[in-house]
Homo-oligomer: A and B are copies of this chain.
Amino acid sequence: MFSKACEYGIRASIFIAIKSRSDIRVSLKDIARETDSPVSFTAKILQRLVKNNIIDSLKGPNGGFEIKKSKAGKIRLSHIVNAIDGDSIYKKCGLGFRNCNNKKPCPLHYKFTVVRENLRKMLEETTLLELSEDIERGQSFLKIN
């Protein structure tokens, strides 16, 4: 569904959001370790998230990544997915036809649109804050086995 890059990006964002709630800035190494993600690849993804103003970064000692507290409730999964995978997941035709649309629909068009809209809504409704709260309540986990 999502690319690996996007999976790691979401994991990282959630971890950063959690730590930022206690004003703790986290390093690349911490993020990679705590989300079971490859270090160097995660670095690239974090750079992209920084450029897209989803997370903030600071160089040097005591540097690292953070998400301003007031921001976590406003960042939606859709923002992260968009920054990394683009909008193809919302827009792309199920059969890969470039010009598929309501006027000239592919055979899957309407059925697929329903599924995609379902996904789009979920991503647009879900905030980082909400996901990090689940984890702090012990209702979900960022490191599994």
Give the distance in Å from the alpha carbon of A118 to the alpha carbon of B111 in the complex. 10
A92 within 8 A of B: yes
Interface residues of A (CB under 8 A from B): 1-2, 4, 7-8, 10-11, 14, 36, 77, 89, 92, 94-100, 104-109, 111-112, 114-116, 118-119, 122, 126, 131-132, 134-135, 139-142, 144-145
Cβ A107 vs Cβ B131 within 8 A: yes
A84 CB to nearest chain B CB (Å): 13
Extra pairs beyond A97-B144, A107-B131 (9, CB < 8 Å): A1-B94, A7-B95, A7-B96, A10-B108, A106-B141, A107-B135, A107-B142, A111-B126, A114-B122
